[in-house]
Structure 1
Amino acid sequence: MVDFTRRRQGRKTLTSGLERASRGPECFPSLSPLALRVQVRTASSEADPRRSPRTRTFAMHQTRNTLSANIRAESVDLLNKHLASAIDLHGQLKQAHWNVRGPNFIALHGLFDKCAAEAETYSDLLAERARGLGGEAEGTVQRAAQFSGLLAYPLGVADGQEHVFAVSGALAAFGESAREAIDRAARLGDADTADLFTEISRNVDQQLWLVESHGAPQ
Structure 2
Amino acid sequence: MSTQKTIRQKAGTVESNPVRLDQDKAAQIIDALNSDLADAYVLYHQLHKHHWNVEGAEHLNIHRFLQEAYEEVELAADAIAERAQAIGGVPHASMQALSEAATVEPEDEDVYDIRTSLANDLEMYGDIIESYREHIELAERLGDYATAHMLREQIEDVEEHAHVIAHYLEDDTLVLDSATK
Q: Under TM normalisation by the shorter chain, which class is it?
A: 0.7 to 0.9
- Please tell me whether the aligned partners of residues 100 and 160 of structure 1 are also in contact (alpha carbons under 8 angstroms): yes
CA offsets per residue over residues 117-155 of structure 1, 9 Å max, x none?
Answer: 011011111100001111111122222221211122144
Answer yes or no: is 1:89 the counterpart of 2:43.
Answer: yes
Per the alignment, residue 199 of structure 1 pairs with 153
TM-score in terms of structure 2 length:
0.83
Q: State the alpha-carbon separation in 1 of the partners of residues 12 and 65 from structure 2.
A: 38
Answer yes or no: is 1:111 the counterpart of 2:65.
Answer: yes
Q: How far 1:93 moved relative to its partner?
A: 0.6
CA offsets per residue over residues 1-56 of structure 1, 9 Å max, x none?
Answer: xxxxxxxxxxxxxxxxxxxxxxxxxxxxxxxx678xxxxxxxxxxxxxxxxxxxxx
Unaligned 5+ runs, structure 1: 1-32, 36-56
Unaligned 5+ runs, structure 2: 1-7, 173-181
Per the alignment, residue 114 of structure 2 pairs with 160
Q: State the alpha-carbon separation in 2 of the partners of residues 97 and 85 from structure 1.
A: 18
Instruction: Specify the SS of the correspondent of 2:14.
Output: strand
Q: How far 1:206 moved relative to its partner?
A: 0.7
- Please tell me whether the aligned partners of residues 182 and 193 of structure 1 are also in contact (alpha carbons under 8 angstroms): yes
For the pair shown, which has the larger CA radius of gyration, 1 or 2?
1
Q: State the alpha-carbon separation in 2 of the partners of residues 180 and 59 from structure 1.
A: 23
- Please tell me whether the aligned partners of residues 139 and 148 of structure 2 are also in contact (alpha carbons under 8 angstroms): yes
Q: State the alpha-carbon separation in 2 of the partners of residues 144 and 179 from structure 1.
A: 20
Q: Relative to total residues, which structure has the larger strand share, 1 or 2?
A: 1
- Please tell me whether the aligned partners of residues 111 and 211 of structure 1 are also in contact (alpha carbons under 8 angstroms): no
Q: 1:134 to 1:100 in 2, by over 3 A?
A: same
Report how many residues are paired: 166
Per the alignment, residue 132 of structure 1 pairs with 86
Q: State the alpha-carbon separation in 1 of the partners of residues 110 and 13 from structure 2.
A: 41
Which amino acid is 1:178 matched to?
Answer: Y
Q: How far 1:58 moved relative to its partner?
A: 4.0
Q: 1:205 to 1:34 in 2, by over 3 A?
A: closer
Match of 2:52 among 87, 98, 117: 98
Q: State the alpha-carbon separation in 2 of the partners of residues 64 and 145 from structure 1.
A: 29
Q: Which stretch shows the higher mean deviation, 84-93 or 187-196? A: 187-196
Q: State the alpha-carbon separation in 1 of the partners of residues 144 and 167 from structure 2.
A: 35
TM-score in terms of structure 1 length:
0.70
- Please tell me whether the aligned partners of residues 154 and 166 of structure 1 are also in contact (alpha carbons under 8 angstroms): no
Which amino acid is 1:147 matched to?
Answer: A
CA offsets per residue over residues 67-120 of structure 1, 9 Å max, x none?
Answer: 212111221111111111111110111111111222211111111111100110
